Amino acid sequence: MSEIIKLKIGLASCGIAAGGEAVFEALKKATALPIDQVGCIGHCYAEPLVEACLADGSSVMYSNVKADEKSIQDILSLGGENRFEVPAARKAKELLKVLALAGRIVPTDLADYTANGGYEGLKKALSLSPEEVINEIKLSGLRGRGGGGFPTGMKWSFLAAKPGFDKTVICNADEGDPGAFMDRSLMESVPHQVLEGMLIAAYATGASRLVIYCRAEYPLAIKHLKIAIDQIYEAKLNVFGNRSIEISIKEGAGAFVCGEETALIASLEGQRGMPRFRPPFPTDRGYQDKPTMINNVETFGNIPVILREGGNAFASTGSEGGRGTKLFALAGDLQYPGLVEVPMGTTLNEIVFEIGGADRSHVKAVQTGGPSGGCIPVELFDTPVDYDSLRSLGAIMGSGGMIVIGKDRCMVETARYFLDFTHRESCGKCTFCRIGTTRMFEILERIVAGKGCEADLDLLEDLGKKIKAGSLCGLGQTAPNPVLATLRFYRNEYLEHVNEHKCRAMQCNALVDVVLDKSKCVKCKLCLKTCPLNAISSDFVIDPALCTRCNSCLDSCPKKAIIRAAKGDK
Amino acid sequence: MKKEYEFLRSIPNDPGNLIKGLQLLQSSCGYISVDGIRAAAEYFGRPEADVEGVVSFYAQFKRVKPGRYQISVCDGTACHLKGAPLIHEWLHQELGLKPGETAEDGVFSLETVACLGCCSLAPVMSVNGKVHGKLDRKTMMKILKEYAAK
């Protein structure tokens, strides 16, 4: 086998959180080989990841690397201890187009990007007329990846139709869905690809200003983008003939509603991020009252790919309900959480079980589209994932967050969680959204506390329909989805909560007692020492009045003698 | 404008830069005080009530002085499913803090955040920006001890 010529270590947010920085330091100490700090390849469960590049052009990956002497030497000697292979099922299903370079190149190295085909899309675009570029985008069938699914080419043509160059293109990088991290990963790992997409948009639509609105919770993404912007200025990639494009980045301050176009613009202008009535549409009057177009990070990430491949070739991937590939952030109850890219129309079965390695007997549902989406039960997992199929099930594609929910999770509590989020994030402008989501949340709190009644379920449905109809923006129009979808598919769980005061998942604290099975107990007293409230007596009886159901004792018990049981069961 | 807020002059006083100004205020002072609001209103030429309105709208802005170590517990979907409520319960038992509070000795303060974007390491929390993943009670207690001893 040939020798190592270079090492690569994944240092995106996930790699850092898994301890990648310590591994990087240890590697630096142990070897004089060049070490590239790259982004994320999407296999978050295997972080920290180190790739050893060999002289013959091949490479060997190492996963879950620790910062100790043994692990480091194992890599440097090309040992076999922590070798990592992409699981075969995932390799077969995945199609890396947008993510092709993520984790393979140094995010902040312009030369590395251009050596791997970077900015060829822009070059191609500049050799065409703006109309021809927009035509390619239309041919590609690309639809907005931020959730709405509006045809991108059409959006571009609206802005291009406005006279002059005093126009703005905004990149919506305010990835607010809890449970989604596709955009973060793209910005951290391939910032130039996102910016290349934006520059192509500026050329095609005649915009002179590019603004990235990024959430402040993503410091590493902001850092990488800033470096990339400086490099673009230096290389004059932002100059098209006599036109020079201004690129800036603004940090959001944490408001979910700012994902909505008009709210985002209000926030950019230093106001409370509240949406306004449309028309006028942003393409008529947007940022600073000038024509403005907003696309999502992943949408821009697709643009260079389309220009390189050509619109028709791009459209050959995917299905009727959506062209190209889609990134999904897989998390929750599965073996391989991470970022995946698959052709549109791949089924949930393939994504959750084959790629995600989830346990078929354990999965109850998958939640797509975050707080605006719905739950899809496991029985319907042969559904192809595209914009239209998901909508028909009361869920949405959203930006691509996909949370796998196991059988030990309560669907009522899950719905309560989402409404807790949306009722707090409602900006307060529309009465139905402001008060309606609060009432829905209160009803759900009542149900998980065992104090609900059957009429509450009808009330939830009634409120949900009215909130959807009576809200101005996407937040209110979709906020009831998690409740309506769970009521549709899991009404029996709601009924158990209200009629029998039972939570089959043993999750709702008010309906559960923590009990100790004396036949399994070995009297080791670890639980007594662990319980922060001294709720366990010396003869091993748990006082339900003192116990807060914090699960500390469950974790401490070596014999698993302590369990959560339905209230009243002995 | 009070001398201690002179740093605001490093950004142009266009009213559209208010959020940027407030972010600068918060990163310099740790939180946004009544005096801070007054200074921002004066510098950006906007009424104080208007500035207060912007501050209260966005989750990022804090009106209470944070502790030396700011603990942010992620309550994104993945973390919630994997036990974020338990982490809150344990932190409450250990530090006596609820989200939005700062301990009397000023060492720790606690907040809930929507999503740190590290869903595959759920449940996670960050301390002064450093993310700690795959938490259980034992690792969380160990992390607290390490910071308290610093």
pLDDT digits (tens, 9 = 90+) for A326-384: 999 998 999 999 999 999 999 999 999 999 999 999 999 999 988 889 999 999 999 99
Which 198-217 residues of chain A touch chain B by CB within 8 A?
Answer: 216-217
- Of the residues B34, B57, B80, which one is the last residue of a structural domain? B57
A-chain residues near B121 (CB < 8 A): 14, 17-18, 44, 47
Task: Tell whether A256 lies on the interface with B, counting CB pairs under 8 A.
Answer: yes
Q: Residues with Cβ < 8 Å from A435, sequence gap 6 or more?
A: none
Question: What value does the mean pLDDT take over residues A45-53?
Answer: 94
Task: Tell whether A97 lies on the interface with B, counting CB pairs under 8 A.
Answer: no
A-chain residues near B118 (CB < 8 A): 13-14, 17, 44, 181
Disruptive mutation site among B20, B81, B87, B127 for chain A (greatest number of A CBs within 10 Å): B81
CB-based contact B18 A267, cutoff 8 Å: no
B-chain residues near A181 (CB < 8 A): 115, 117-119
Is there a contact between A170 and A213 (Cβ–Cβ < 8 Å)?
A: yes
- Is B31 a domain residue? yes
Sign of CA dihedral A20, A22, A23, A25: positive
B-chain residues near A216 (CB < 8 A): 23, 60
CB-based contact B115 A177, cutoff 8 Å: yes
| Statement to judge: residues B36 and B77 lie in one domain | no
| Statement to judge: residues B102 and B40 lie in one domain | no
Q: What is the 3-state secondary structure (H, E, C) of chain B?
A: CCHHHHHHHHCCCCHHHHHHHHHHHHHHHCCCCHHHHHHHHHHHCCCHHHHHHHHHHCCCCCCCCCCCEEEEEECCHHHHHCCHHHHHHHHHHHHCCCCCCECCCCCEEEEEECCCCCHHHCCCEEECCEEECCCCHHHHHHHHHHHHHC
- Nearest residue on chain B to A427, judged by CA atoms? B57
A-chain residues near B82 (CB < 8 A): 332
CA proximity to A283, closest of A390, A381, A205: A205
For residue B126, the enclosing domain spans 69-149
Disruptive mutation site among A16, A271, A290 for chain B (greatest number of B CBs within 10 Å): A271
How far is it between the farthest Cα atoms of chain A?
A: 85
Task: Tell whether B76 lies on the interface with A, counting CB pairs under 8 A.
Answer: yes
Nearest Cα of chain B lies from the Cα of A278 at a distance, in angstroms, of: 22
Average pLDDT taken over every residue of chain A: 94
Q: At what angle do helices A411-425 and A481-489 cross, to 10 degrees?
A: 170
Q: Residues with Cβ < 8 Å from A295, sequence gap 6 or more?
A: A144, A146, A152, A155, A169, A170, A171, A172, A201
CB-based contact B76 A332, cutoff 8 Å: no
Task: Tell whether B113 lies on the interface with A, counting CB pairs under 8 A.
Answer: yes
- Is B101 a domain residue? yes
Q: Is pLDDT at A537 greater than 80 in this prediction?
A: yes
CA proximity to A320, closest of A369, A258, A385: A385
Locate the DSSP E strands across A378-459: 401-406
Is there a contact between A494 and A487 (Cβ–Cβ < 8 Å)?
A: yes
| Statement to judge: residues B35 and B91 lie in one domain | no
Is there a contact between A200 and A121 (Cβ–Cβ < 8 Å)?
A: yes
- Of the residues B57, B77, B98, which one is the last residue of a structural domain? B57
Nearest Cα of chain B lies from the Cα of A1 at a distance, in angstroms, of: 34
Higher pLDDT among residues A179 and A122, named by residue: A122
Task: Tell whether B13 lies on the interface with A, counting CB pairs under 8 A.
Answer: no
Quick one: tokens of B30? 């740790």
- Of the residues B37, B57, B77, which one is the last residue of a structural domain? B57
| Statement to judge: residues B74 and B106 lie in one domain | yes
ipTM confidence score: 0.89
| Statement to judge: residues B45 and B114 lie in one domain | no
Nearest Cα of chain A lies from the Cα of B34 at a distance, in angstroms, of: 19
Phi, psi of A413 (to 5 degrees): -65, -40
Nearest Cα of chain A lies from the Cα of B61 at a distance, in angstroms, of: 7
For the stretch A460-499, pLDDT in tens is: 999 999 999 999 999 999 999 999 999 999 999 999 999 9
Report how many Cβ contacts below 8 Å link chain A to chain B: 147
Question: What value does the mean pLDDT take over residues A266-277?
Answer: 95
Beta bridge partners of A330: A338, A402
Pairing of strands A246-252, A243-244: unpaired
The total of structural domains in chain B comes to: 2
Pairing of strands A318-319, A292-296: unpaired
Q: Which helix (H) or strand (E) holds A296?
A: strand A292-296
| CATH code of residue B127 | 3.40.30.10
Which domains does chain A carry? Answer: 4-85 (3.40.30.10), 110-313 (3.40.50.11540), 319-406 (3.10.20.600), 411-500 (1.20.1440.230), 511-566 (3.30.70.20)
Quick one: tokens of A93? 């299903």
Neighbour-count burial for A247-265, b at 16+ CB within 10 Å, e otherwise: bebbbbbbbbbbbbbbbbb
Nearest Cα of chain B lies from the Cα of A314 at a distance, in angstroms, of: 29
For the stretch A155-189, pLDDT in tens is: 999 999 999 999 999 999 998 887 788 999 999 99
| Statement to judge: residues B117 and B78 lie in one domain | yes
Nearest Cα of chain A lies from the Cα of B65 at a distance, in angstroms, of: 18
Task: Tell whether A20 lies on the interface with B, counting CB pairs under 8 A.
Answer: no
Give the pLDDT confidence score for residue A1 in this predicted structure.
61
DSSP, res A550:
-
- Give the Cα-Cα-Cα angle B56, B124, A72 (nearest 5 degrees): 135
| Statement to judge: residues B49 and B98 lie in one domain | no
Is there a contact between A2 and A31 (Cβ–Cβ < 8 Å)?
A: no
B-chain residues near A178 (CB < 8 A): 75-80, 114-115
CB-based contact B77 A219, cutoff 8 Å: no
CA proximity to A296, closest of A155, A126, A478, A102: A155
Task: Tell whether A269 lies on the interface with B, counting CB pairs under 8 A.
Answer: yes
For the stretch A68-87, pLDDT in tens is: 999 999 999 998 888 999 99
Quick one: tokens of A184? 């973060």
Give the pLDDT confidence score for residue A210 in this predicted structure.
98
Cis geometry, peptide bond prior to residue A34 (ω within 30 degrees of 0): no
Task: Tell whether A555 lies on the interface with B, counting CB pairs under 8 A.
Answer: yes
Quick one: tokens of A261? 């176009």
- Is B11 a domain residue? yes
CB-based contact B93 A254, cutoff 8 Å: no
Nearest Cα of chain A lies from the Cα of B62 at a distance, in angstroms, of: 11
CB-based contact B60 A267, cutoff 8 Å: no
Question: What value does the mean pLDDT take over residues A437-446?
Answer: 98
| Statement to judge: residues B89 and B50 lie in one domain | no
Q: Which helix (H) or strand (E) holds A182?
A: helix A182-189
| Statement to judge: residues B27 and B82 lie in one domain | no
Which 177-196 residues of chain A touch chain B by CB within 8 A?
Answer: 177-181, 184
Task: Tell whether B43 lies on the interface with A, counting CB pairs under 8 A.
Answer: no
Task: Tell whether B80 lies on the interface with A, counting CB pairs under 8 A.
Answer: yes
- Is B63 a domain residue? no
Q: Is pLDDT at B113 greater than 90 in this prediction?
A: no
CB-based contact B93 A533, cutoff 8 Å: yes
Pairing of strands A338-343, A50-54: unpaired
B-chain residues near A270 (CB < 8 A): 15-20, 44, 54
Question: What value does the mean pLDDT take over residues A223-240?
Answer: 98
| Statement to judge: residues B108 and B144 lie in one domain | yes
Give the pLDDT confidence score for residue A396 in this predicted structure.
87
Higher pLDDT among residues A194 and A548, named by residue: A194
CB-based contact B114 A176, cutoff 8 Å: yes
Question: What value does the mean pLDDT take over residues A229-251?
Answer: 97
Question: What value does the mean pLDDT take over residues A243-265?
Answer: 94
Span of A18-32, A102-116, A189-203, B120-134 with lowest mean pLDDT: B120-134
CB-based contact A218 B44, cutoff 8 Å: no
Q: Residues with Cβ < 8 Å from A78, sequence gap 6 or more?
A: A1, A4, A52, A60
- Is B51 a domain residue? yes
Cis geometry, peptide bond prior to residue B123 (ω within 30 degrees of 0): yes
- Nearest residue on chain B to A422, judged by CA atoms? B114
- Nearest residue on chain B to A272, judged by CA atoms? B54
| Statement to judge: residues B25 and B95 lie in one domain | no
- Is B128 a domain residue? yes
- Give the Cα-Cα-Cα angle A286, A288, A290 (nearest 5 degrees): 55
- Is B97 a domain residue? yes
CB-based contact B115 A269, cutoff 8 Å: no
The model's pTM: 0.93
Model confidence at A9, in pLDDT bands (50, 70, 90)?
Answer: very high
Question: What CA–CA distance (Å, rounded) separates A3 from A1?
Answer: 7
Nearest Cα of chain B lies from the Cα of A501 at a distance, in angstroms, of: 21
Model confidence at A570, in pLDDT bands (50, 70, 90)?
Answer: low
- Is B62 a domain residue? no
| Statement to judge: residues B76 and B132 lie in one domain | yes
A-chain residues near B75 (CB < 8 A): 178
